[in-house]
Amino acid sequence: MEMEEAGTRDQAVKLGLAAGGLFALVLLRRWMRRRKIKKILKARARMKARLEKSRAKEAKAEKGRRRAGKKGRERSMAEQLIRFAVFQFLKKIISEQIKQTQLDLGKGRLGKKLVGAPGEA
C-alpha cells in the first residue's frame, strides 16, 4: 500500500515538473515574442524618423531655393541640378530601404501582422 502511494507521489511530482517546465517554456516564448515586437517597432520608428528628417531637410532646401533671390544670392543652374540629383538619389535610397524592411518584415508571421496593419502598430 505504501509503495503504491510512493509511486503515485513520484508520478505526480514528475507530472508537476513536466507541467511546470512546459509552462515556463510558454512564458519564455511569449516574452521573446514581445521583445521581438518591441524591437521591430523601434526599428520602424527609427526609419520613419529618418525619413521625416530627410523630408524636412528637403522642404527646407526647397524653401531656400525659392528665396534665393531675396537673400541676394543666385544659385547657378548647375548647382541647382546637382542639389536636385543628390536629393532624388537620397530619396530613392531611403524608399528602397523602407521597401526592403517591409519585405523582410512581411516574411514572418509577426511581421505580416505589422506590415499589414500600419495604423495599429
pTM score: 0.38
Residue 35 to residues 28, 30, 32, 110, 114, Cα–Cα distance (Å): 11, 9, 5, 12, 14
Indicate the Cα dihedral angle 43, 46, 48, 51, nearest 10°: -130
Q: What is the pLDDT of residues 42-74, one digit of tens each?
A: 999 999 999 999 999 988 888 877 665 555 467
- B/e letters for 44-67, b = 16+ CB within 10 Å, e = fewer, are beeeeeeeeeeeeeeeeeeeeeee
pLDDT digits (tens, 9 = 90+) for 5-47: 778 888 999 999 999 999 999 999 999 999 999 999 999 999 9
Quick check: 111 and 104 in contact, CB under 8 A?
yes
Q: What is the DSSP letter of 67?
A: T
